[in-house]
């Protein structure tokens, strides 16, 4: 099985630093005293909460339901009591808050009822649904819901299914350990993906600095009698980027404007395949993941950690050394500094690196770009980072987009090689989020304009209609008046003199009374089928309303007396 | 000599008629410049520029009557874009730049007078006579037009909070985060 390999342009070879964390076997982390499970852990819509404060939840019980197709469910990582559903710090570079379910474990770790299924006997649609409801998302770090990617394109036949075990980021070894210890599960998961997508070939790409993983995977494939090809790819960052790995294994280049299924190829991470197998064959949703703890710590290694475990608990497992001054989530090339250690482990947390001034020396000051072109040579997407940098820096975002800013995968190769120490990726991230925000503003402005124009039109139309009605009424009156002119004349003179004022007041009072009765009789009709959050909100509003209503009940009486009296007084 | 004059005259007639035809055939409805300017304005329709809406202001700019720095919701960013489009000098904004805001109705106090509904240019308020009113967050442009008409002063403006969905990476110069890289 000789596999012809292709090359991607650019790339760098940073020191891998992987050795320390692969010595120890995979360990299972203890249940922490408190779990904070964010509801929004994947790309797509925010799942709706399914539990309330005080509920007892079982291990694997859904606590957030996927709210649309591109979304994935979230589950309780262990059994316990929900003590809060509130905004908590997110594992995000901003350190902002996100809606989370806080669970106090009861230590019994009691599973919800699980069903093991055979995917071959199920409709493909059903399998995708199970994957969504089990919260299976891309565990390589992109956290894109897997069931969406498992829908083959209607027009293009699927040629290759690429399974990504390259793990090119320095320091990171979670996929390596998973492949060494749980190869069989991965291969069975890949078989599920294969049956859903029906590709012609299945290629498992692993960087050649992981010979043990290649060997175990090969053995597992053979043992299970599958015809998957396990391919060792040359070690070069970012070989584990989905587009780079596809390029290396199939020679296909996926442009930013296209999704890979349109090119007849799809790519999944090994950990995703493993979690899909657990979900189908054991009914176990994604409630934990393997995280590499490494860097400036006493005991680097890989741990299987429950989602929602606060970072400080996780870090304590590895024992950070005294001079640790920062923690990076993700790899050193693409990760970010954790702003707050109370943030929880989420599905995207593949690695936590403790940093120290010696491990990550502070960067040299940023110097002007000398247009040496080193960044362009290193860019795996054949972009021109120096041009992108120039345009991002001067906020010339239109031009930056012309130079394909959105093809940039933020791999960091350009910043890595830049002799002027320019944090290029930071500029690109800044430019991208600025462009997105402008797009949002623009959409809002367009919508506002449309609504404004619609409103004006409606006003005009209503005015015209009213004028027309009045004209018609006037015409009708004129027509009526003509025959009995002498009789009609005295009538209008009579009424106003008697009690115009009083009648008006009485009418108003009656209307108010009617409105009050109506209000009292009114029952909200849309009270069933509400989500927990809505129900809670209603309860809160009712609570706030109670005292006011009591006050109001006292007032209308007083007013009622007045209004009832006034007409009489006048008469 | 005569031929030369004839040729020139003929040329003039041909070209003139072609131009005349083109001006009828390719007539542009409306003023394209106004549309371009309007696309830059935030469409808040707040009237803070002193015109009754974004379009009148756009027309005034196109006519050269109005300055380009009168739209507070557009901010400096808007001024810069207008300056770019029109080839004018960038000027400081003729008002205080405010963060984007959102109207919030205190539902306890609302008496259901519908005055705010009538004031809202984008129909972002829902409610009916004598019923509680509320602002549809996603539609509110933050124009403040509903604040004044409310007889019981129950509408307040609040800056839109930064959430993960609208959070932006900062300009690297203001927040120097050391680039992380392998030793
Ligand atoms: S590597 Fe740095 S200095 Fe060289 S061209 Fe790129 S941005 Fe400029
Ligand atoms: S971060 Fe972007 S521009 Fe820089 S090397 Fe990677 S893909 Fe190219
Ligand atoms: S100030 Fe700006 S947003 Fe407000 S009406 Fe004028 S142009 Fe429109
Ligand atoms: S709700 Fe108020 S602030 Fe919001 S768009 Fe309507 S009038 Fe303007």
Closest to A18 in 3D by CA, of A184, A240, A185 = A240
Map tokens 């992380």 to a residue.
B180
Q: What per-residue confidence (pLDDT) applies to A519?
A: 53
Domains of chain A: 19-29+116-355 (3.40.50.11540), 367-470 (no CATH)
Residue B78 CB–ligand 3 contact under 6 Å: no
Start-end of H helices in A134-269: 146-149, 174-181, 183-197, 211-223, 242-250
Is the distance from CB of A175 to CB of A23 less than 8 angstroms? Answer: no
Dump pLDDT digits (tens) for A381-417. Answer: 889 999 999 999 888 888 899 999 998 989 999 999 9
Chain A contacts of B54, Cβ < 8 Å? 449
pLDDT in tens, chain B (183 residues): 889 999 999 999 999 898 888 878 777 666 788 888 888 898 888 888 888 888 899 999 988 888 888 888 888 888 888 888 888 888 888 878 778 888 998 888 888 888 888 888 888 888 888 888 888 888 898 888 888 888 888 899 988 888 887 888 887 754 444 445 544
Q: Is the pTM higher than 0.90?
A: no
The fold of B32-86 is 3-methyladenine DNA Glycosylase II; Chain A, domain 3 (1.10.15)
Going from the Cα of B54 to the center of ligand 3, the distance in angstroms, rounded, reads: 5
DSSP string, A478-515: HHHHTTTHHHHTHHHHHHHHHHHHHHHHHHHHHHHHHH
Cα-flanking dihedrals φ and ψ of residue B135, to 5°?
Answer: -100, 130
Residue B123 sits at the chain A interface (C-beta within 8 Å): yes
Nearest residue on chain A to B55, judged by CA atoms?
A: A449
The pair of three-digit structure tokens given for residue A251, joined into one six-digit string = 């020679």
Map tokens 């995708």 to a residue.
A128
> Smallest CA–CA separation between A554 and chain B, in Å?
17
Going from the Cα of B161 to the center of ligand 3, the distance in angstroms, rounded, reads: 22
Is the distance from CB of A189 to CB of A162 less than 8 angstroms? Answer: no
Residue B146 CA to residue B46 CA, distance in Å, equals: 10
Nearest residue on chain A to B78, judged by CA atoms?
A: A438
Beginning with the edge strand found earlier in the chain, give each strand of the sheet holding A74-75 in spatial order: A48-49, A62-65, A74-75
Which of B107, B172, B176 has the CB atom closest to A430's CB atom? B172
Q: What per-residue confidence (pLDDT) applies to A566?
A: 40
Q: Evaluate the CA torsion angle A148, A151, A154, A158 in order and state its sign.
A: positive
Positions of chain A with pLDDT lower than 50, given as ranges: 1, 486-498, 523, 556-571
Residues within 8 A of A (CB atoms), B 65-104 only: none
The pair of three-digit structure tokens given for residue B69, joined into one six-digit string = 């720095």
Map tokens 């408190």 to a residue.
A34
Closest to A439 in 3D by CA, of A401, A409, A403, A391 = A401
Residue A409 CA to residue A379 CA, distance in Å, equals: 10
Q: Which of B56, B112, B121, B180 to mutate to test the interface with A (most CBs of A within 10 A)?
A: B180
Ranges of each domain in chain B: 32-86, 99-160
Residue B44 CA to residue A451 CA, distance in Å, equals: 11
Helices (H) and strands (E) in chain A, counts: 17, 17
DSSP letter assigned to residue A364 = P
In three-state secondary structure terms, A339 is: coil
Which of B54, B176, B179 has the CB atom closest to A415's CB atom? B179
The architecture CATH gives domain B99-160: 2-Layer Sandwich (3.30)
Is the distance from CB of A360 to CB of A17 less than 8 angstroms? Answer: no
Q: What per-residue confidence (pLDDT) applies to A54?
A: 92
Using a 10 angstrom Cβ sphere, with 0-12 exposed, 13-18 middle and 19 or more buried, the burial of residue B102 is middle
Residue B110 sits at the chain A interface (C-beta within 8 Å): no
Chain A contacts of B135, Cβ < 8 Å? none
Q: What per-residue confidence (pLDDT) applies to B75?
A: 85
ipTM for the predicted complex comes to 0.76
The pair of three-digit structure tokens given for residue A242, joined into one six-digit string = 């989905």
Using CA atoms, how far residue A109 sits from A274, B1, B149, in Å, is 22, 108, 58
Q: Which of A97, A368, A449, A541 to mutate to test the interface with B (most CBs of B within 10 A)?
A: A449
Residue A487 CA to residue A484 CA, distance in Å, equals: 6
């Amino acid at each position: 099985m000789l596999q012809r390999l292709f090359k991607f342009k650019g790339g760098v070879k940073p020191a891998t630093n992987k050795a320390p964390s692969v010595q120890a076997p995979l360990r299972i982390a203890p249940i922490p005293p408190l779990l904070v499970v964010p509801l929004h852990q994947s790309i797509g819509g925010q799942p709706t909460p399914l539990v309330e404060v005080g509920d007892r939840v079982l291990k694997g019980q859904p606590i957030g339901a996927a709210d649309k197709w591109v979304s994935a469910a979230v589950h309780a990582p262990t059994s316990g009591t929900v003590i809060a559903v509130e905004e908590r710090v997110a594992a995000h570079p901003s350190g902002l808050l996100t809606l989370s379910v806080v669970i106090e474990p009861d230590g019994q770790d009691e599973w919800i009822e699980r069903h093991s299924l055979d995917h071959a006997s199920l409709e493909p649609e059903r399998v995708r649904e199970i994957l969504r409801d089990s919260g299976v998302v891309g565990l390589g770090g992109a956290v894109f819901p897997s069931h969406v990617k498992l829908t083959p394109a209607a027009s293009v036949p699927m040629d290759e299914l690429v399974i990504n075990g390259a793990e090119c980021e320095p320091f990171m070894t979670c996929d390596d350990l998973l492949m060494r210890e749980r190869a069989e599960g991965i291969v069975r998961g890949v078989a599920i993906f294969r049956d859903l997508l029906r590709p012609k070939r299945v290629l498992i790409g692993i960087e050649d600095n992981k010979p043990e993983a290649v060997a175990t995977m090969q053995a597992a494939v053979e043992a299970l009698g599958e015809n998957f090809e396990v391919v060792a790819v040359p070690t070069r960052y970012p070989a584990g980027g989905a587009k780079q790995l596809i390029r290396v294994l199939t020679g296909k280049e996926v442009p930013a404007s296209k999704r890979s299924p349109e090119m007849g190829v799809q790519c999944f991470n090994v950990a995703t395949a493993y979690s899909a197998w657990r979900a189908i064959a054991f009914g176990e949703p994604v409630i934990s993941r393997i995280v590499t703890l490494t860097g400036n710590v006493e005991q680097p290694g890989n741990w299987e950690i429950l989602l929602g475990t606060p970072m400080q608990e996780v870090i304590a497992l590895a024992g950070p050394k005294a001079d640790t001054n920062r923690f990076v989530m993700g790899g050193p090339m693409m990760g970010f500094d954790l702003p707050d250690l109370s943030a929880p482990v989420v599905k995207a947390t593949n690695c936590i690196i403790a940093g120290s001034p010696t491990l990550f020396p502070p960067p040299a000051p940023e110097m002007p770009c000398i247009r040496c072109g080193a960044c362009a040579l290193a860019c795996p997407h054949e972009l021109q980072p120096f041009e992108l940098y120039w345009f991002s820096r001067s906020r010339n975002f239109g031009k930056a987009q012309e130079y394909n800013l959105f093809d940039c995968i933020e791999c960091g190769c350009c910043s890595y090689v830049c002799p002027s120490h320019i944090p290029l990726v930071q500029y690109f991230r800044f430019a991208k989020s600025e462009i997105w925000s402008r797009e949002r503003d623009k959409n809002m402005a367009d919508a506002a304009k449309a609504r404004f124009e619609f409103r004006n039109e409606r006003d005009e139309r209503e005015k015209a209609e009213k004028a027309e009605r009045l004209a018609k009424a006037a015409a009708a009156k004129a027509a009526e008046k003509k025959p009995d002119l002498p009789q009609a004349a005295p009538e209008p003179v009579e009424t106003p003199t008697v009690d115009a004022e009083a009648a008006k007041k009485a009418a108003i009072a009656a209307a108010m009374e009617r409105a009050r009765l109506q209000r009292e009789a009114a029952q909200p009709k849309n009270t069933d089928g509400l989500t927990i959050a809505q129900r809670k909100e209603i309860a809160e509003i009712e609570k706030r309303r109670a005292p006011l209503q009591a006050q109001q009940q006292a007032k209308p009486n007083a007013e009622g007396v007045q209004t009832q009296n006034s007409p009489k007084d006048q008469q | 000599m005569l031929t030369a004059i004839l040729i020139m005259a003929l040329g003039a007639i041909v070209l003139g008629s072609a131009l005349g035809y083109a001006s009828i055939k390719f007539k542009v409805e409306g003023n394209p410049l106004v549309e371009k300017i309007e696309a830059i304005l935030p469409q808040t329709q707040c009237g803070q520029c002193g015109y009754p809406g974004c379009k009148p202001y756009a027309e005034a700019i196109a006519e050269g009557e109005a300055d380009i720095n009168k739209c507070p919701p557009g901010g400096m960013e808007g001024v810069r874009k207008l300056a770019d489009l029109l080839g004018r000098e960038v000027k400081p904004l003729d008002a205080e730049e405010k963060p984007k805001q959102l109207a919030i109705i205190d539902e306890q106090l609302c008496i259901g007078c519908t005055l705010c509904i009538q004031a809202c240019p984008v129909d972002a308020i829902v409610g009916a006579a004598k019923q509680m009113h509320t602002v549809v967050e996603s539609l509110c442009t933050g124009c403040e037009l509903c604040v004044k008409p409310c007889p019981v002063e129950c509408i307040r403006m609040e800056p839109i909070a930064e959430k993960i969905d609208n959070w932006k990476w900062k300009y690297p110069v203001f927040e120097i985060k050391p680039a992380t890289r392998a030793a």
